[in-house]
Amino acid sequence: MRGRSLDPDEDPFPSVSFLTESDSSFLQDVGSILSWPEDPRGFTLYSRWIPEKPDHGKLYFNLSYQATESLRIGVDYRPLTDDVSLLANWRVFSEDDGWRPALILGTSNDDFGDINSQSYYGTLSKHLFEVGGVNVSGYGGATFIEKLGEVRAVGGVHLRKGAWSSMLMYSGVDEHVSITRIFGNHSLTFLMFDLKLPGLAYGFNY
């Protein structure tokens, strides 16, 4: 999805400004904690919990590192089944202000229905328009699902306004929807896997 550079004079953590600008010293301290570190080194810790899924998809963690401006690498871990796998995505080129979308190639271990499989994907993503302060982006492409031995179409729509964002996506097998709120370097997500299994996800950039 398309990113946006911060203005040098812009608050780098507007998502916690309601805390840091509070009259309460306790809330100001909470905002400072959520904003730490001020200069993340490129690591991201992500966890997801969907209690109604089978063990392989119920609890999930990944740790990744932004090795270069365009390459992210990491590992996935599913503690209930003791599965470890690799993840990587490479932005071959970025979108521009004209017609060109960004091209992303990658691999990850994902849940497709009731199965868990390594997949290999390529997607094109593009910021489409802004309406009422909401930025609308879309992506589409294809993924090869190793356990199915098939190539499937994937796609989705991403909405963002300030610290809030939402995504409706199709994985090649299931549809999912998520709503995310950013708090400084932290994120909290409510999601519906296959539009019927509720779950929560947490992310931390450091």
User: What's residue 198's pLDDT?
Assistant: 98
Q: In whole numbers, what is the pLDDT of the chain averaged over residues?
A: 90
User: What's residue 23's pLDDT?
Assistant: 84
Listed in sequence order, the DSSP H helices in the chain are: 17-20, 25-34, 55-58
Q: Which of 186, 203, 166, 202 is nearest to 19 (CA)?
A: 186
Q: Which of 100, 103, 104, 109 is nearest to 81 (CA)?
A: 109
Which of 30-39, 52-61, 141-150, 151-160 bottoms out in mean pLDDT, i.e. has the lowest? 30-39
Q: Which residues of 67-94 are buried (b: 16+ CB within 10 A; e: fewer)?
A: eeeeebebebbbeeeeeebebebebeee
SS3 15: helix
Q: How far apart are CA 99 and CA 61, in angstroms?
A: 36
Whether residue 81 contacts residue 23, with contact meaning beta carbons closer than 8 Å, is answered with: no
Instruction: Report how far apart, in Å, the C-alpha atoms of 151 and of each of 91, 127, 141, 144 are.
Output: 21, 25, 10, 4
Which of 19-28, 78-87, 127-136, 171-180 bottoms out in mean pLDDT, i.e. has the lowest? 19-28
Q: Which letter does DSSP use for residue 1 in this model?
A: -
pLDDT tens track for 101-144: 999 999 999 999 888 899 999 999 999 999 999 999 999 999 99
Q: Which of 85, 123, 118 is nearest to 101 (CA)?
A: 123
Whether residue 83 contacts residue 75, with contact meaning beta carbons closer than 8 Å, is answered with: no
One-letter amino acid at 28 equals Q
CA end-to-end span of the chain, whole Å? 20
Q: How far apart are CA 172 and CA 131, in angstroms?
A: 29
Whether residue 191 contacts residue 178, with contact meaning beta carbons closer than 8 Å, is answered with: yes
Question: What is the residue extent of each domain of the chain?
Answer: 12-41, 45-205
What's the mean pLDDT in 170-178? Answer: 96
pLDDT tens track for 52-99: 999 999 999 999 999 999 999 999 999 999 999 999 999 999 999 899
Q: Which letter does DSSP use for residue 16 in this model?
A: G
| CATH code of the domain occupying 45-205 | 2.40.160
Q: What is the pTM of this model?
A: 0.86
Give the CA radius of gyration of the chain. 18
